[in-house]
């Protein structure tokens, strides 16, 4: 078996390990962050289980750390108290980005990790099966419920050769994205094997698995080998090590080979992570801003490479350089060894150990700016500035470009880029709050910004409404439910958020949805790519959306729609996309019967007097969820 199959087999609760079949697996660990966590814990409370049943669950505060009002602080206090009550560890603001800290302090090879953040697959860098999901799925897992998914195909990425100096792990995942596209990983796990794996450190592996989320993949995974052991030993956690390698005769569904020695520094150009070209081909474009950090590239190793490039130099006068170390551990070590002083002396602005600019939480670039970022997404407007052109690059490219003032190939540098992995990391978990002992009566504090989340009703026999909006391909969750510094504080207030649902596509959509009592959303291919935020389903639910009809869905968003009781319908013929216009009257008759009897749903376009066949790619269990009006209703009915 391959690594993916081994871990799934060890956690299989139900189903057959046949690609395309529904399976369920036991979840060992969960993580949440504060942007999605408030809703996840409200849902956990609604399920009514007093104590989490996982081996370890951790709540991180890393997204909504801009305190410009009471809302974020109120959410943080709610999360701190609700986690203390129910047996969950709490990583305080300032302790670091969830994926970086979890890799350092809590991840265990061979375990399953479910996180309410799409970049949870970072844990695959140490051989975990780490999957991003909606908050409701995480809430169910915390309560001991299995996680259901389609058994993925496993893609073997055979790494051969070794990276040349100044070519980075970021360039490996950019090459995979270039080859496979943002849709190429849907329904698949990307498994990295081959001799080239041995030359990659755990932080480099984690960069690759982290950004595998941009492929649409279920997750990505590396072997757990002696490199993993050395990393865990340096973290004081060698006892957590387990060797996990593919069998010599392991089989895979697909395979591609990447010669690491043939790669060169690259960038993802605006506005998609798969719009990849070499730095050489893009040329020395003028740069206005450089941002280094995020869960993709904020490790100690990344920061040390940046500090080496910046040492003794000065950031170009036309460039704003901001740096956010990924965790308190990293920041402490940089402070202790002098690297932080080198960054500051060069003119870098040091941000707190949090997500920050990656999610549009501060540091928005100027109008029409060119911004180089070591992040994982460059969707239009995600930076907070709609006209900005964001390029995704390695820390090495970012640092030298900040000095030069133009996009620069780091191979121009006349120095070594080799940074040795520490034999021992600085260990201080004093910013992780332990949960209260079982049975303690902890008061859960709820601020005025925390509103009840919308819960659907059982699916009626007939659905009728108008086509309220029609959008194109590759609509992201940033389009569906914008996530910027102004809106992030309202993640626990769906009624408020709903006023901004799909407004980047059509500012009138929320008003139109309310005026018409809800209706239908029409979309293109890969609808809902990007974040795991279930708000992209909850806000449409609040606005009365009954079904979303598209050419194809991104995995997590489709699951979130099902969890909310919204029908995810795929056009049987993509040509029918042209047969539905804005404000057409649509109807689905006998929908409960149609859903119960098969996987084809007939949508009637009453305005055009035609029938449009759609496919609903769901399991029998998911059909029952939709009939019940979503996962929460289904869970209550079946407990």
Which pair of tokens denotes residue 550? Answer: 């598209």
The domains spanning 266-411 and 463-637 adopt the same CATH topology: no
Determine the pLDDT at residue 540.
Answer: 97
Q: What's the pLDDT band for 290 if we cut at 50, 70, 90?
A: very high
Distance CA 522, CA 508 (A): 15
Determine the pLDDT at residue 533.
Answer: 81
Report the topology of domain 3-262: Aconitase; domain 3 (3.30.499)
- For residue 77, CA distances in Å to 37, 61, 437, 494, 607 come to 12, 10, 19, 19, 51
Go through 166-180 and write b for each residue having 16 or more CB atoms within 10 A of its CB, e for each that does not. bbbbbbbbbbbbbeb
Q: Tens of pLDDT along 226-271?
A: 999 999 999 999 999 999 999 999 999 999 999 999 999 999 999 9
Q: Tens of pLDDT along 529-568?
A: 987 788 999 999 999 999 999 999 998 899 999 999 999 9
The CA dihedral of 405, 207, 418, 391, to the nearest 10 degrees, is: -10
CB 501 within 8 Å of CB 537? no
CATH C-level class of 463-637: alpha beta
In the chain, where the domains are located: 3-262, 266-411, 463-637
Which pair of tokens denotes residue 465? Answer: 């409404």
Determine the pLDDT at residue 491.
Answer: 81
Strand partners, 9: none
Determine the pLDDT at residue 438.
Answer: 87
Reply yes or no on whether the pLDDT at 639 is more than 80: no
Contacts of range 483-487, beta carbons closer than 8 Å, 24 or more positions apart: 483/35, 483/359, 483/360, 483/382, 483/531, 483/533, 484/359, 484/360, 484/361, 484/384, 485/66, 485/68, 485/360, 485/361, 485/362, 485/364, 485/384
Reply yes or no on whether the pLDDT at 336 is more than 90: yes
Determine the pLDDT at residue 61.
Answer: 96
Q: Tens of pLDDT along 462-520?
A: 999 999 999 999 999 999 998 777 888 888 889 999 999 999 999 999 999 999 999 99
The predicted model scores a pTM of 0.91
Q: What is the pairing mode between strands 389-392 and 320-323?
A: unpaired
Which pair of tokens denotes residue 638? Answer: 């079946």
Answer yes or no: CATH 3.30.499.10 is held by domain 266-411.
yes
Distance CA 518, CA 541 (A): 9
């Amino acid at each position: 078996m391959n690594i993916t199959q081994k871990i799934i087999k060890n956690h299989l609760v139900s189903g057959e390990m046949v690609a395309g079949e529904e399976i369920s697996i036991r979840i060992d660990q969960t993580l949440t962050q504060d942007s999605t966590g408030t809703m996840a814990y409200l849902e956990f409370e609604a399920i009514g289980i007093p104590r989490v049943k996982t081996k370890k669950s951790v709540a991180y505060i890393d997204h909504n750390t801009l305190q410009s009002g009471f809302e974020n602080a109120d959410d943080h206090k709610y999360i701190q108290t609700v986690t203390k009550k129910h047996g969950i560890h709490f990583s305080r603001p300032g302790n670091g980005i969830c994926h970086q800290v979890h890799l350092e302090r809590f991840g265990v090879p061979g375990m399953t990790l479910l996180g309410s953040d799409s970049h949870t697959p970072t844990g695959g860098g140490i051989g975990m099966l780490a999957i991003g999901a909606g908050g409701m799925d995480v809430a169910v897992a915390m309560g001991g419920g299995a996680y259901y998914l389609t058994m993925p195909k496993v893609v073997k990425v055979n790494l051969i050769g070794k990276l040349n100096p100044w070519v980075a792990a970021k360039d490996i995942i950019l090459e995979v994205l270039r080859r496979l596209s943002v849709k190429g990983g849907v329904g698949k796990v990307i498994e990295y094997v081959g001799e080239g794996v041995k030359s990659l450190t755990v932080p480099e592996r984690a960069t690759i698995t982290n950004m595998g989320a941009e492929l649409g993949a279920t997750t990505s995974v590396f072997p757990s080998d002696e490199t993993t052991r050395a990393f865990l030993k340096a973290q004081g956690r060698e006892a957590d090590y387990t060797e996990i390698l593919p069998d010599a005769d392991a089989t895979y569904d697909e395979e591609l080979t990447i010669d690491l020695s043939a790669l060169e520094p690259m960038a993802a150009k605006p506005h998609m992570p798969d719009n990849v070209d070499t730095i050489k081909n893009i040329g020395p474009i003028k740069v206005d801003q450089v941002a280094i950090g995020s869960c993709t590239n904020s490790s100690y190793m990344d920061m040390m490479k940046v500090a080496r490039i910046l040492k003794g130099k000065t950031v170009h006068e036309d460039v704003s350089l901001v740096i956010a170390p990924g965790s308190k551990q990293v920041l402490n070590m940089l402070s202790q060894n002098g690297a932080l002083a080198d960054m500051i002396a060069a003119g870098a602005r040091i941000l707190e150990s949090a997500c920050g600019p990656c999610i549009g939480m501060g540091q928005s670039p100027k109008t029409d700016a060119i911004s180089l970022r070591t992040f994982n997404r460059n969707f239009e407007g995600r930076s907070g500035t709609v006209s900005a052109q964001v390029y995704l690059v390695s820390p090495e490219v970012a640092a030298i470009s900040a000095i030069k003032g133009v996009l620069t190939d780091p191979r121009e540098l006349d120095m070594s880029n080799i940074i040795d992995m520490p034999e021992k990391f600085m260990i201080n978990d004093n910013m992780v709050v332990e949960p209260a002992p079982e049975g303690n009566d902890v008061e859960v504090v709820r601020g005025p910004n925390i509103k009840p989340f919308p819960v659907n009703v059982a699916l009626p026999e007939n659905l009728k409404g108008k086509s309220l909006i029609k959008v194109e391909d590759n609509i992201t969750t940033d389009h569906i439910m914008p996530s910027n510094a102004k809106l992030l504080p309202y993640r626990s207030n769906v009624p408020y958020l709903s006023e901004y649902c799909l407004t980047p596509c059509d500012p009138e959509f929320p008003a139109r949805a309310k005026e018409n009592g809800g209706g239908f959303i029409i979309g293109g291919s890969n609808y809902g790519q990007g974040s795991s935020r279930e708000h992209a389903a909850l806000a449409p639910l609040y606005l009365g959306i009954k079904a979303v009809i598209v050419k194809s869905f991104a995995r997590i968003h489709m699951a979130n729609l099902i969890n909310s009781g919204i029908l995810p319908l795929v056009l049987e013929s993509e040509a029918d996309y042209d047969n539905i216009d804005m404000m057409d009257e649509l109807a689905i008759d006998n929908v409960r019967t149609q859903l119960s009897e098969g996987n084809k749903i007939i949508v009637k376009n009453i305005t055009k007097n035609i029938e449009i066949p759609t496919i609903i790619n769901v399991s029998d269990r998911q059909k029952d969820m939709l009939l019940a009006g979503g996962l929460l209703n289904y869970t209550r009915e079946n407990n």
